[in-house]
Structure 1
Amino acid sequence: MKIRHILFLSIAVLMGLDSIAQSREAKNKHFSHKMGTYTDPRDGEVYKTITFIREHHGGTIERTWFAENIRFNVPGSKTYNGAPEYAKTFGRLYNYEQANLACPEGWHVPTIHEWKHLFHFFGGWHHSGKYLIEGKESDMDMMFGGFGQPDGSFKGIGVHGNWWDNELKDSNSAGIITLKKGDENIYHSKVGDRHYLSCRCVKFHN
C-alpha cells in the first residue's frame, strides 16, 4: 500500500512537471526575442537592445526596445543623488519634457499601448514584473532606480523603478510605469511631469 502511494505521488509530480513544461511551451511558442546593440550617434554610448517577435494572423509583429535605461545627458536631467556613477548602472533621470528629448532619432518614449504589448508577452499586468527585472528571462533588465522629486530630493533606489509612458494626461501630469521589488505586478499611474524618472526607448516601426 505504501509503495503504491509513493508511486502515485511520483506520477502526480511528473505529470505536474510535464504540465508546467507544456504551459511554458504554450506561453512562449507565439513569440521569441533576440538581442542586439545600438550605438547612439550623439555621444557614442552603446546600448543593449532586444527585439520581441510575435506571430500574428500568419505574419509577425516586431518591437525593438532598449534593454537598458537611456543615459543621454539632456540638459537639466539628473543622476540619483547627483552621483555620476549612478548613470552607468541605472541611466539618467528625466522630467517628462526631457524624456522626450532623450531617445535618439528613430526611437521614442514608449506609449502605454507599447508597454501593454510588452507585458502581454510575460503574463500581463499581474505577473510580468518578475520576468522583467534585472537578470530574469525577458532580458529587459529593468532596475529599481528610484526617482527624483521636483524639490531636488531622491527616493526609492533599490526598492522600485519608474519609467515614463509617452502620454501626457493633462497640462502638468503624465503616465508612469512602476515595478516594485518582490512584487509581480506592474503598476500604471500618473505623476507630475516635473518629477524625474527613468526612460526606456522603443524603435519606431512601420
Structure 2
Amino acid sequence: MKTKIRFWMPAILFALFSVFLTNCKEKEEEPLPEVEQLENDTSFTDTRDGNVYKKIKIGNQIWMAENLRYLPSVVGSGTGSETTPYYYVYGYNGTNVSVAKETENYKTYGVLYNWPAACTSCPEGWHLPTDADWIELETYLANNGYNYDGSEGGDRMKIAKAMASTNGWISSSEVGTPGNTDYPEYRNKSGFTALPGGYRYMTGRLYDIGNAGRWWTTNMAYSTTAWLRIIVSDYSNVFRGEDNLSLGLSVRCVKNK
C-alpha cells in the first residue's frame, strides 16, 4: 500500500491561518518531584504505569527515544472520533488493556493515539511537541552533521536516516533512506530511534507498519486536521504534513524546558 502523504501550505499562509485555530489544551504544570527523582541521564520512569523510556538530548531539547506506551484504555481500529480520545494498538481489536499490552506490536511500537488522546497523554514534565519543537529538532540535525551524505543545511531533506532505528524498516534501494543500509555511520546517528509503527486511517484500516512512522504535533492545521511528521522507509527526508484528527498515530514526547 502506497503511503498517503498530505503536504503542507506555504509557510506564510500557515502563519496567517493558524491564529484562528485551536491547538492542544495541555496542562501547564511543573514536573512532579517524584518524577524527577526517577530520571537519570539516559532514561526515565512514567509513574502512571511504570513504563521506562530511553531519552536523548539533541541540541537544546530532550526527546523520548521510544514511542509512548501510555494506554489507559483501548479500542479496536473500527472505532474513531475527531473529538473523543481513543487509544489503539496496531493489530489488536479488543478492549482489554492487559491483553493489548502483551502484544508484540505494543511492546515494539507503543500506542497509536488519535489527536485528542495524544494531546493529554505525555507524562508530567513532558509534552506533545509543537510544530515548532519539530522544526527546531530538524533544523539542528540538518545544520550539525546529520544529513546522510555529510552535507549541512537543506531543512529536513536528508535527515531521516539519522533519525530512524537501524532495524524494522522495509528494505529500500533508494539512497540515504531508512530502509537502505548505505551510509552506515549515519544510521540512527541522532539516537532518536524513529520506529515504523504504522497508523490507523480514518476509515478504521491499519497501514504501513514496517514502512512508515507518523507522529502528532499539538498544532491544528484546519478545523479537523493537525500537523504531523512522517518518516518513510524509502525517502531520505522527513515529511511535514497534516491529516484528520481521528487518525491513530504514534507519539514522541519532548521534555519541558
TM-score, normalised on structure 2?
0.61
Residue 108 of structure 1 corresponds to: 127
Cα distance per residue 1:32-79 (max 9 Å; x no partner): xx95101001001000001123xxxxxxxx211100000100433001
Distance in 1 (CA, whole Å) between partners of 2:193 and 2:134 is: 15
- Cα displacement (A) at 1:149: 1.8
Q: Which runs of 5+ in 1 are unaligned?
A: 1-33, 54-61
2:57 counterpart letter in structure 1: T
Q: Give the 4+ runs in structure 1 shifted more than 4 A.
A: none
The number of residue pairs the alignment matches comes to 164
Query: Which of 37, 43, 47 is equivalent to 2:49?
Result: 43
When Rg is computed on C-alpha atoms for both structures, the one with the higher figure is: 1
Distance in 2 (CA, whole Å) between partners of 1:47 and 1:38 is: 6
Aligned positions of 1:6-155 closer than 5 A: 36-53=42-59, 62-75=60-73, 76-82=86-92, 84-123=103-142, 124-135=155-166, 136-155=188-207
Q: Which runs of 5+ in 2 are unaligned?
A: 1-39, 74-85, 93-99, 143-154, 167-187
Does the 8 Å contact 1:146/1:154 carry over to 2?
yes
Does the 8 Å contact 2:114/2:247 carry over to 1?
yes
- The structure, 1 or 2, with the larger RCO (C-alpha pairs under 8 Å, 6+ apart) is 2
Distance in 2 (CA, whole Å) between partners of 1:170 and 1:151 is: 19
Distance in 2 (CA, whole Å) between partners of 1:115 and 1:174 is: 14
Does the 8 Å contact 1:35/1:51 carry over to 2?
no
Q: CA RMSD in A?
A: 1.6
Distance in 1 (CA, whole Å) between partners of 2:116 and 2:222 is: 13
% same residue:
32
Higher strand share: 1
- Cα displacement (A) at 1:197: 0.2
